[in-house]
A = this chain, B = another copy of it.
Amino acid sequence: MRESYDSHGAELAAFTNRLADLARLAEGAMNRATTAVVAGDAELARTVVAEEGTIVALHHRLDEEAVEMLAELRPVAGDLRTIVAGLRMSADLARMGAMARHVAELVPRMAPRPALPPVVLPTVAAMGETAQRLMAKVRAAMARHDTEAAYELDRDDDEMDRLVSSLYRDLLCADHGLDVEAVLELTLLGRYYERFADHAVSLARRVLFQAGAAG
């Protein structure tokens, strides 16, 4: 753990642990959302949608704690950076939970058709894997204040951008036989993964900010 915790050890450690919990919840939600759309599992999709409430509640709790700590601990230097970055990370993670919900909602919206037509299935599965890899690196970077892992994330984000472009190219092929509604829904699906990755990059930047390595 960080040196600067010495000053307000318990509160900051609890805050950081809860932020790690929120990251785990967001990662789990997106993994299950991907499984739900790839397998067309309506029951699993419902679970992801229902469990977003837990993510939102934890996000609000973290925000309240951050403001309380700013008021009561009057933190400076490293502690201040940890709290300010935590406020922003909490917002990113809540948005990532919302992206997971949006992905899961594809299953009922496409019903009674399967959520994913075969032509885009491999690409969406790869997008889910890339999202998982991004989150694993973000969580490692958060836990160890690992600036190397944070810098590495850009590569996985590039991979996500490539996959989303590939999904859009699949959709633009005239011979896929998809109806307009499917094109519309799958376009939004690509956007949700793209934004999930953007938030992961934003989280990595916060880790660098906490470490004093960047703004």
Contacts and interface: CB of A to CB of B under 8 A. Distances in A.
Interface in A5-54: none
Given A70-B80, A80-B67, A180 B191 contact: no
Interface string A112-135: 000000000000000000000000
A110 interface: no
B191 A172 contact: no
A180 B188 CA distance: 14
Contact of A70 (B84, B174, B181, B183): B84
A3 to B, nearest CB: 17
Contact of A171 (B71, B84, B184): B184
A81 B184 CA distance: 41
A172 B87 CA distance: 40
Q: Which of A63, A67, A77, A180 has the most CB of B within 10 A?
A: A180
Interface of A: 60, 63-64, 66-67, 70-71, 74, 76-77, 80-81, 84, 87-88, 91, 168, 171-172, 174, 180-181, 183-184, 187-188, 191, 215
